[in-house]
Amino acid sequence: MDMAVSSVRPLYIPPLSEDQAQSGTLILRDGTTATIRLAQPTDQTAMKAFVERLSPESRRHRFLLADTPPEDLIASLCDSSDPRSRLTLVVTRLLGGTLRIIATGAYLARDVTTAEVVMAVDDAFHGKGLGTLLLERLALLAIRNGFVRLWAVTHADNQAMREVFRESGFELRETRAGGEIQGGEMEVELSLLPTETSVARSEVRDRVATAASLRPFFCPRAVAVVGASRDPASIGYRIVEALVMNRYQGPVYPVNPKAAVIASIRAYPSVKAIPEPVDLAILSVPRDAVLDVVDECAAQGVQALLIITAGFAEVNAEGRTLQDQLVEKVRAYGMRLVGPNCMGLLNTDPKVRLNASFAPVFPPYGRVAMLSQSGAVGLAILRSSTYLNMGLSTFVSVGNKADVSSNDLLQYWEEDPATEVILLYLESFGNPRRFARIARRVSRRKPIVAVKGGRTQAGRRAAGSHTAALAENDAGVDALFHQTGIIRVGTLDEMFALARALGGQPIPSGRRVAILTNAGGPGILCADECEAGGLTVTELSEGTRRLLSGFLPAAASLKNPVDLIASAGPEHYRRAIETVLPAEEVDAAIIIYIPVDISNTEAIAQAIRDGVAGGRAAGAKAKPVLVCWMAEDGRERSLQVGDEQIPTYASPERAAQVLGKAATYGEWRIQPPGVVPDYLDMDFVRIRAACKEAARERGEGWLSVEEVRTVLTAAGLPVPPGGVARTPEEAVEVAGQVGFPVAVKLASRRIVHKTEIGGVRLNLADARAVTQGFAEIRDRVARENQLDAMEGVLVQPMFSEGVEVMVGVTQDPLFGPLMAFGLGGIHVEILRDVCFRVTPLTDRDAGEMVREIKGYRLLEGYRGHPPADVTAIEEVLLRLSRLVEEIHEITELDLNPVFALPPGQGCRIVDARIRVGAVTADSRNSK
């Protein structure tokens, strides 16, 4: 396949899925939320009230109406039954006990490709970005329904509306209206094709609004603890105590109907009785009181709810129903909710000092943010970080993630200047696609380290019963983390080890490491582990060695590892670090110290500090230094040098592992992110029709050989010439067109294992052989009593050269399409030399996939075998990714084998299977 002949452009994928566009939560610019959904006929009264509430000016601007709206206009605005002709979205909020429409936006077809757009926002909600959010969603829904353009008439002086159009980032044309439209009006035309700008703007809006909506959790002006019990052993009491003992910098209001004082603080009988505004309410009331307390909080203007109470979705169906009601209520009020079933959250910023949890520890202030899906793990984390003196910026136990999710918090930390490293303890993903998108972006700025619980079968079962988390495919998680630059670690210990390096040291910009040690053995262990982790321990340059030899004893080894020998004193350490760190051939350093003379220990620690400071002064600013401190107490700590923390580890292997992962991350980060290519020759209309037709006729199942050829051909994939023949004569005719020798194979969607039943005849050199081959295959099928399953035979050319590869797609219940690539035959089946990625694939992902398998050397050419057309393989991967992303009916797909021919000659799909099923709402559309 030739890249040049097919027109390719980057695909800009809007962050919202189509389903999210028509229902869900909007986060407004002020951080409050509102609900969006399609308008229904039952909305007529509310719609009329909404239009009447608009100021006369708004009514004239939006609907070109002077007074009361006519009934038919209201009725048509509440009819979304035929989205190809019209559709209306309404935004609602619970105000004064009634659910009110606060904004609406509609499109109305002008012709098959252009729709007129109108929208209006309640005067009290202007300036909160609602118009932009509505337009973004209307645009997505309009595209889905076949429109390519939106058109609007607006008053030239209606700056707000014109700004909404400009802000969208869509290609825009404004013209002063003439003709039938009276003066002072503008016609606006928006092209709906997502652009780099429209997608980037939409992402920024989401991020900024999400961060604003979470600020009241982390920086509340005042906090109420509802359910602050009189019992000092209770959770409620301990939360009040944690707030006060850790010196929260705002007022704390305990709420308890039965007590006037809790923990020596005046208590209030209800939230409503609190005399001052409260931003954050922490709920530790019994489960059945939660919904009523939420009402009280809303009435008091609380924006953030932290619900500790358990007994919701994690326990049973009744709990899930209650949780659904809770979320609905919280969203209707425009508030946000962390939990339920969580341990709380912390912000160590000295200006805030918020311990909104029942954790008895308060870690030091630092640069690491942490999310835990398990309260108990969270507690362990807080203890460890305090013990290790590892500073945290913020900590959140997310519990059931009923509203605030990992995705929201990632966006908060992306914006948070106090956070430089993000740690995640995850058991499940709410919406992995959104997670992938956000994490990929955040990782470029701040490293994310994640432990994913539920890795083993036993672990998964435990995860399932623990937080109602779903079991997930580990290949999918690995792929997702890899593609998003997330550093995956196996244990919490390793997570902390990494966090201390990433939070305290620069990210390595290369893989060359210098090891300094005062003992040979640990140096060797460290070097081995470095190499195993992909680091290089190369010899130091002549110049560096000469400098070292100037002050080190003659017995010292100047190779790498540099062995300073047991007699090394503080001065040797200091000067060796000062020499090696700035060396051009060094990207990072590991310094190993084994106390030979305990009385020297402090002096050595100081020498390391001074050596690093000296190295930095000599220009080695961006090179990380890790210390292996094999000291008596075995305790891991950090050495402070100015602003910098040098992490110390108890074993040389640990330091090496940490540096290896940090270097892999550093490499990921500096490479360009890659683009998802869009191939303009892919005929999705034809493909969709073929898949839908098959699914309608036969239900869920495999496509016939002919249908497969249709789909692959329409997707621009390299299908070899030939075709399906129903009779021996037809087979001979096709063989004649293809050119001898040919392969003749049983064509059947029902009989899967063709070779096993003798359904494949290769290297047929002439018409006689083809006729005979046809007969033999038919006989074999007849013997199996399966003649009715035979569609004919597939006649193909024979391929004698090239490397056999396989590409497959399966549906992960959570991640959506998961792609696999490997060499064909035993490589995949026995050696499991296969690599996975989640879609959509970028060009970078495709390049990595091909190179990641061990068999890549075969594709590069090996012992007389010519190399393979790797570019063509990459294109197959990218086209397949587009195919399964676009055509949700495809549930499984196998191209096996694909013959990769020599460079420039492309590849050929020799065998393929495609399974289609009914489209269900999958992870692509979950919230």
Of residues 226 and 591, the one with the C-beta less far from ligand COA: 226
Which residues on neighbouring strands pair with residue 890, listed in sequence order?
916
Q: How far is CA 371 from CA 349, 409, 412, in A?
A: 17, 8, 12
Least distance (Å) between residue 308 CB and ligand COA: 5
Least distance (Å) between residue 903 CB and ligand COA: 57
Element of type H or E holding 196: helix 196-218
Please calculate the CA angle 685-690-691 and round it to the nearest 5 degrees.
100
Least distance (Å) between residue 378 CB and ligand COA: 7
Of residues 256 and 518, the one with the C-beta less far from ligand COA: 256
Task: Tell me the helix, strand and coil percentages in the chain, rounded to 5.
Answer: 40, 25, 35
What's the rounded Cα separation, in Å, for the pair 8 and 497? Answer: 44
Of residues 304 and 806, the one with the C-beta less far from ligand COA: 304
**Amino acid occupying residue 219:** C
* Coil/strand/helix, residue 803: strand
Least distance (Å) between residue 405 CB and ligand COA: 17
Least distance (Å) between residue 109 CB and ligand COA: 51
What's the rounded Cα separation, in Å, for the pair 673 and 844? Answer: 7
Of 520, 528, 534, whose CA–CA distance to 565 is shortest?
520
Of residues 341 and 923, the one with the C-beta less far from ligand COA: 341
Least distance (Å) between residue 419 CB and ligand COA: 23
**Beta carbons of 823 and 858 less than 8 angstroms apart:** yes
**Amino acid occupying residue 23:** S
> Which residues, 6+ apart, have CB-to-CB distance to 769 below 8 Å?
761
Q: Which two tokens stand for residue 745?
A: 């194979």
Least distance (Å) between residue 427 CB and ligand COA: 13
Of 581, 572, 582, whose CA–CA distance to 550 is shortest?
572
Please calculate the CA angle 135-136-142 and round it to the nearest 5 degrees.
80
What's the rounded Cα separation, in Å, for the pair 450 and 247? Answer: 31
Q: How far is CA 510 from CA 516, 623, 665, 667, in A?
A: 18, 9, 10, 7
What's the rounded Cα separation, in Å, for the pair 356 and 217? Answer: 9
Say how far residue 830 (Cα) sits from the centre of its chain.
Answer: 32
Least distance (Å) between residue 486 CB and ligand COA: 24
What's the rounded Cα separation, in Å, for the pair 443 and 483? Answer: 10
> Which residues, 6+ apart, have CB-to-CB distance to 621 below 8 Å?
506
Least distance (Å) between residue 339 CB and ligand COA: 8
Least distance (Å) between residue 319 CB and ligand COA: 11
Of residues 236 and 647, the one with the C-beta less far from ligand COA: 236
**Amino acid occupying residue 421:** V
Of residues 207 and 287, the one with the C-beta less far from ligand COA: 287
Of residues 343 and 694, the one with the C-beta less far from ligand COA: 343
* Coil/strand/helix, residue 677: strand
Least distance (Å) between residue 587 CB and ligand COA: 42
Of 204, 202, 209, whose CA–CA distance to 13 is shortest?
202
Binding site for ligand COA (CB under 6 A): 226-227, 229-231, 234-236, 255-259, 284-287, 289, 293, 308-311, 341-343, 375, 397
Of residues 292 and 571, the one with the C-beta less far from ligand COA: 292
Of residues 263 and 451, the one with the C-beta less far from ligand COA: 263
Least distance (Å) between residue 606 CB and ligand COA: 43
Of residues 25 and 397, the one with the C-beta less far from ligand COA: 397
**Beta carbons of 513 and 530 less than 8 angstroms apart:** yes
Q: Which two tokens stand for residue 594?
A: 């084994």
C-beta nearest to ligand COA: residue: 375
